[in-house]
A and B are shown apart, each in its own frame.
Chain A
Amino acid sequence: MTVLRMLIGRYLLGLRRRTHVAAVSAISLTAMTLGSAALVITLALLEGFQSTIRRQLTESGVHAELRPRRGAALPGGEWLAELRRRHPQLEVRGVSSGAVWCLVSDAAVPADLEVVDTLTTVEVNRVLAARLAAGAGSQIVVAGHRLVLTPLGPAPAQRSLVVGRVIASRPNDDRSVLRVPPALARGLLGTTALQRFELRDAEPARAWAVASDVQAEVPEEVEVVSFADLNRPLLAALQLERVMIGLGVGLVIAVAALNLLCNLALLAAEKRNDVAVLAALGLEPRHVTSLFLTLGLVIGFVGGVLGVGVGGLVAFVLDRTAALPLPRGVFIVSHVPFSVTPGAVATVLAVSLGAALLASLAPARAAARRDVLEGLRYE
Chain B
Amino acid sequence: MSGMAVQAQGLDKGYGQGDKRVQVLRAFDFAVPAGEMVAVVGPSGVGKSTLLHLLGLLDRPDAGHLELFGTDVAALPGRERARWRNRRIGFVFQFHALLPEFSLEENVAMPRFIAGERRAKALGSARELLAAVGLTSRCGHFPDQLSGGEQQRGAVARALAGEPELLLADEPTGNLDGSNAEALFTLLRELHGSRRLTSVIVSHNEALARRCDRIVRLTGAVALEERPRP
Contacts and interface: CB of A to CB of B under 8 A. Distances in A.
Interface of A: 1-3, 6, 10-11, 14-18, 273-274, 277-285, 372-373, 376, 379
Contact of A11 (B93, B101, B113, B119): B101
Contact of A280 (B58, B87, B106, B119): B58
B13 to A, nearest CB: 11
A17 B144 contact: yes
A277 B159 CA distance: 11
Contacts of A277: 93, 97, 99
B186 to A, nearest CB: 25
Interface string B94-121: 0101011110001000110111111100
Given A280-B91, A372-B58, A3 B97 contact: no
Contacts of A274: 99-100
Nearest to B80: A284
A2 B111 CA distance: 11
26 contacts: A1-B116, A2-B116, A2-B119, A3-B114, A6-B102, A6-B113, A10-B101, A11-B101, A17-B100, A17-B144, A274-B99, A277-B93, A278-B99, A279-B82, A280-B58, A280-B85, A280-B93, A281-B85, A281-B86, A282-B114, A282-B162, A283-B114, A285-B78, A372-B59, A373-B59, A379-B97
Interface string B58-98: 11000000000000000000110011111100010101010
B99 A283 contact: no
A346 to B, nearest CB: 35
A284 B78 contact: yes
Given A2-B116, A6-B113, A373-B58, A282 B100 contact: no
A318 B17 CA distance: 66
Given A2-B113, A284-B79, 11 more contacts: A10-B101, A18-B100, A274-B99, A274-B100, A277-B99, A278-B114, A280-B58, A280-B91, A280-B93, A281-B86, A282-B111
Nearest to A3: B113
Given A17-B100, A282-B111, A2 B86 contact: no
Contact of A282 (B83, B106, B144): B83
A295 B77 CA distance: 27
A280 B144 contact: no
B58 A16 contact: no
